[in-house]
Amino acid sequence: MKHVAVLLGGFSAEREVSLLSGQEVARSLAEAGYRVTTIDVQRDAAALVAALRPRPDVVFNALHGRFGEDGCVQGVLELIGVPYTHSGVLASALAMDKPTAKRMFAAAGLRCPEGIVIERADLARGDAMARPYVVKPVNEGSSVGVRIVRPGDNLPPSEVAAGPEHQGQVLVERFIPGRELTVTVMGDRALAVTELKPKSGFYDYQNKYTAGRTEHLVPAALPPAVYEAALEVAVTAHRSLGCRGVSRADLRYDDTEGEPGRMILLEINTQPGMTPTSLVPDIARHAGIDFPALVAWMVENAACDA
């Protein structure tokens, strides 16, 4: 019986989501026949190494956010030589640093929103570009700290990036209208395209992780050529960063001026959520892969680069 250690929790802004992901993964891996232990990761590399003795056959990394999906914990696992799920050190670090990832995507011929990196203090003095625009932390996931600034918003500039997740520099991007899409890539193939329709606002942290607040339309009702283009963009993004295992690409399809519209890549998530409201399990089910089979595939395709 293969022993899988599931890393969960952590100490990022996405701790609660990671706990949910890890619990779902652990339960399903046990159902699939693995021997499972869980480790709530703290900010102590020596404690993590000690918790991984005796060494498991595989680590399932269910951490989200900084220190869990940005190459840090992956580096620890590389040092001790244990195979782990999801992307390796370099791909994880590249994907988590949004400005760097955008440069990699552009080099691969993918279209991303126009954007600039600006000091938080400078943004507090006034708009960095004409509204509407989007403000993001440069290295967070799950839409933590994302804010859309629209024309007419009664919002002082000092409050645009006031959250604790905005430290030092922030990313300001041109807002892309249209339809919100996401694509899961598993190995070397894209499974399906989902359209996301929040019942209010945009697909922010609350709409992602609160049941019933966002409608998942899979497969997305798109013209066939557009649907295929979304699949291709997701696979190209996955490969351009050197990702492995499962990733999820977030896109906007701007058809506000008619067809053909613009397919814009927003970012790629190398550690997508595995909670009951998460997108990857939904898309996998559409492709005929239930949750235990999905996480078992991830375990069997775990790797160590060292």
Q: What is the 3-state secondary structure (H, E, C) of the chain?
A: CCEEEEEECCCCCCHHHHHHHHHHHHHHHHHCCCEEEEEECCCCHHHHHHHCCCCCCEEEECCCCCCCCCCHHHHHHHHHCCCECCCCHHHHHHHHCHHHHHHHHHHCCCCCCCEEEEEHHHHCCCCCCCCCEEEEECCCCCCCCCEEECCCCCCCHHHCCCCCCCCCEEEEEECCCCEEEEEEEECCEEEEEEEEEECCCCCCHHHHHCCCCEEEECCCCCCHHHHHHHHHHHHHHHHHCCCCCEEEEEEEEECCCCCCCEEEEEEEECCCCCCCCCHHHHHHHHCCCCHHHHHHHHHHCCECCC
Q: Is the pLDDT of residue 306 over 80?
A: no
Domain ranges across the chain: 3-85, 95-112+177-298, 115-174
User: Catalytic one among 61, 240, 269, 278?
Assistant: 269
pLDDT tens digits for range 221-279:
999 999 999 999 999 999 999 999 999 999 999 999 888 899 999 999 999 999 877 89
More confident residue, 68 or 259: 68
124 — pLDDT class (breaks 50, 70, 90):
confident
Q: Is the pLDDT of residue 70 over 90?
A: yes
User: Catalytic one among 71, 261, 273, 278?
Assistant: 273
User: Catalytic one among 9, 10, 12, 14?
Assistant: 14
CATH class for the region spanning 3-85:
alpha beta
143 flagged as catalytic: no
Asked if 238 and 249 touch (Cβ cutoff 8 Å), the reply is yes
pLDDT tens digits for range 127-177:
888 989 998 888 766 466 788 888 888 766 666 665 655 567 889 999 999
User: Catalytic one among 147, 179, 244, 248?
Assistant: 248
269 flagged as catalytic: yes
pLDDT at position 154 is 75
User: Catalytic one among 28, 92, 139, 142?
Assistant: 142
Q: Which residues of 205-223 are buried (b: 16+ CB within 10 A; e: fewer)?
A: bebbbeeebbebebebebe
209 flagged as catalytic: yes
Please tell me the least confidently modeled range out of 24-33, 113-122, 154-163, 189-198. 154-163
Please report, rounded to a whole number, the percentage of residues in the chain having pLDDT higher than 90.
71
- CA 208 from centroid of its chain's CA atoms: 12
User: Catalytic one among 203, 209, 227, 253?
Assistant: 209
pLDDT at position 95 is 95
What type of residue is 12?
A: S
14 flagged as catalytic: yes
User: Catalytic one among 250, 252, 253, 278?
Assistant: 250
Nearest one of 303, 301, 239, 291 to 26, comparing CA atoms = 291
| Pairwise CA distance, residues 241 & 236, whole Å | 9
* 190-206: average pLDDT: 76
pLDDT at position 84 is 98
CATH no., domain 95-112+177-298: 3.30.470.20
Please report, rounded to a whole number, the percentage of residues in the chain having pLDDT higher than 70.
89
pLDDT at position 35 is 98
Asked if 238 and 230 touch (Cβ cutoff 8 Å), the reply is no
| Pairwise CA distance, residues 164 & 186, whole Å | 33
Q: What is the mean pLDDT of the chain?
A: 90
CATH class for the region spanning 115-174:
alpha beta
Please tell me the least confidently modeled range out of 4-18, 42-56, 155-169, 180-194. 155-169
* 120-133: average pLDDT: 85
pLDDT at position 235 is 98
